[in-house]
Amino acid sequence: MARVRLVLAALLALGAGAAGILVAAAPAQAAGVTATFSKVQDWGSGYEAKMTITNGTGATLSGWTVAFDLAAGTSVGSYWDALLTSSGNRHSFRNRDYNGTLGAGASTTFGWIGSGAGVPTGCTINGAPCGGGPAPSPSPSSPPASTPPPTSGTPVARNGQLRVCGTKLCNQQGQPVQLRGMSTHGIQWFPNCYGNAAFDALATDWRADVVRISMYVQEGGYETDPRLFTDRVHSYIEQVSARGMYVIVDWHMLDPGDPNYNLSRARTFFTEIAQRHAGKPNILYEVANEPSGVSWSSIKSYAEQIIPVIRAQDPDGVVLVGTRAWSSLGVSEGASESEVAGNPVNAANVMYTFHFYAASHGQSYLDTLSRAADRIPMFVTEFGTQTSSGDGANDFNRAQQYLDLMARKQISWVNWNFSDDTRSGAVLTTGTCPNGPYAGTSRLKPAGSWIRDRIRNR
């Protein structure tokens, strides 16, 4: 949406549909420093907002604080690229370390999710009024400066509601984050591997940030008993959430490879999951595990039908969309990341998934992930150190190359899989479930010891 600068009086005349607000200058630069509000997206009950700060002076601006009021009934949800302090209806956004200094002519942005229709009024930059001019005398009732985000506690306590900002996954302070964790195997086959002892070990011994709950749709999964498997997912979400980890709800469609085959089932499932857990800040929705034999346009169409179902219940949750050819960005069928980057899903707060198995997927896959991460938001929701069957010899050298790339580019990842399956990709030795122990290394296969070490040691 084009940004149109409006004085505050014009905004009040236009109401909540106004495209932009010209916000005032810092005291030292008068009207030469501006901040412009715009709605990136508006879904009626809320919107995604962006504020662009521009230093139109000939001097360097060192630090900024943008403050404004939102009408009663409108609140700030997740936000990024700023620190927030709120007092009643007054919200004060302060620069981060990396975007506080603006040279002459430079600009920066921050954003937030607004719940409700109200847009900013009474805006100031560094205390100066919206229309420019000198700042008023300091008020003892001004909001205090923001405190730094917590550096200890559980992953969710540290990071809160996650949000896609640019090509990164960001926490509630607007800082890019990299989640690391484990995926369950199919919960229809290994339910005895997922209980309090296992989730305790993942939270405290493995120090995982995230657990992916893989609910197969076919292969003896959801379609055989929707009520049983939906309730099982509810239970796992509650157990993982109680331990302060993030949860990926994985709609594990695999065969048939066209996600539209299960569209009606997906609508029913995600409506209930999102409705019950919308108040939690730690839920991510993976809406199509590994599409195959189907075009990107078909996958995109499916995603654009499922995302509104989730958004109707949970407007803030990050949605993860599978890509063509078993979530290889099309590489396994001769395509590349360009088909997604050139035709992205028409929705905000979306990331795209990539899966790899180190012993099968070499340099061309690694290069594709690297290029894609510079263009679109990526999340590796499944990978193994073995072949694509989840079995065979481990290629730890190639796997480390992937992990190094993902660390450099802050790509979150989840390893396949936390179970005692006989295959080499299952991290627990056969017979470990249901009695464990799950902590330590005594019941881990080589892949299990390797990945546990890389989750624990940042």
Does 99 share its domain with 201? no
Q: Span 302-318, mean pLDDT?
A: 97
Does 61 share its domain with 178? no
Task: Considering only residues 36 and 207, tell me which one the structure prediction assigns the higher pLDDT.
Answer: 207
Q: Span 100-105, mean pLDDT?
A: 85
Tens-place pLDDT, residues 391-435: 999 999 999 999 999 999 999 999 999 999 999 999 999 999 999
Mutual angle of helices 296-311 and 263-277, in 10-degree steps: 30
* 141 belongs to a structural domain: no
Task: Considering only residues 215 and 126, tell me which one the structure prediction assigns the higher pLDDT.
Answer: 215
Predicted confidence at residue 140, as pLDDT, reads: 40
Task: Considering only residues 177 and 89, tell me which one the structure prediction assigns the higher pLDDT.
Answer: 177
Predicted confidence at residue 113, as pLDDT, reads: 82
Q: Span 19-35, mean pLDDT?
A: 48
CA dist 424 and 235 (Å) reads 28
Least confident among 32-46, 312-326, 329-343: 32-46
Tell me the two tokens of residue 366.
């690694």
The structural domain count of the chain equals 2
Q: Indicate the residue type of 172.
A: Q
Least confident among 55-59, 105-109, 353-357, 412-416: 55-59
CA dist 443 and 420 (Å) reads 9
Handedness of CA 324, 326, 331, 337 (dihedral sign): positive
Does 254 share its domain with 334? yes
Task: Considering only residues 81 and 161, tell me which one the structure prediction assigns the higher pLDDT.
Answer: 161
Does 51 share its domain with 119? yes
127 touches 133 (CB < 8 A): no
Q: Span 312-318, mean pLDDT?
A: 95
pLDDT > 70 in the chain, percent: 88
* 307 belongs to a structural domain: yes
* 271 belongs to a structural domain: yes
Does 294 share its domain with 352? yes
Does 412 share its domain with 275? yes
Does 356 share its domain with 294? yes
Burial of 367 (0-12, 13-18, 19+ CB in 10 A): middle
* 131 belongs to a structural domain: no
Predicted confidence at residue 80, as pLDDT, reads: 77
Predicted confidence at residue 152, as pLDDT, reads: 56
Q: Which of 420, 329, 326, 400 has its CA nearest to residue 358?
A: 400
Q: Span 227-240, mean pLDDT?
A: 97
Residue 364 pLDDT greater than 70, yes or no: yes
Residue 230 pLDDT greater than 60, yes or no: yes
pLDDT band at 25 (very low <50, low <70, confident <90, very high): very low
pLDDT band at 137 (very low <50, low <70, confident <90, very high): very low
Last residue of a domain, one of 125, 145, 166: 125
pLDDT band at 200 (very low <50, low <70, confident <90, very high): very high
CA dist 84 and 415 (Å) reads 34
User: One of 286, 290, 337, 339 is an active-site residue; which one?
Assistant: 290
Average of per-residue pLDDT values in the chain: 87
* 169 belongs to a structural domain: yes
CATH at residue 411: 3.20.20.80
Residue 116 pLDDT greater than 90, yes or no: no
Least confident among 73-77, 132-136, 239-243: 132-136
Does 425 share its domain with 279? yes
Does 189 share its domain with 94? no
Does 418 share its domain with 366? yes
Predicted confidence at residue 132, as pLDDT, reads: 53
Least confident among 141-155, 201-215, 309-323, 348-362: 141-155
* 328 belongs to a structural domain: yes
pLDDT band at 313 (very low <50, low <70, confident <90, very high): very high
pLDDT band at 289 (very low <50, low <70, confident <90, very high): very high
Does 87 share its domain with 161? no
Residue 145 pLDDT greater than 70, yes or no: no
* 425 belongs to a structural domain: yes
Does 348 share its domain with 387? yes
* 136 belongs to a structural domain: no
Q: Indicate the residue type of 111.
A: G
The whole domain housing 380 covers: 155-456
CA dist 366 and 43 (Å) reads 37
User: One of 48, 286, 339, 382 is an active-site residue; which one?
Assistant: 382
To the query of whether residue 382 is one of the catalytic residues in this protein, the response is yes
CATH at residue 98: 2.60.40.290
Least confident among 114-118, 221-225, 239-243, 320-324: 114-118
Full-model pTM: 0.70
Task: Considering only residues 235 and 86, tell me which one the structure prediction assigns the higher pLDDT.
Answer: 235
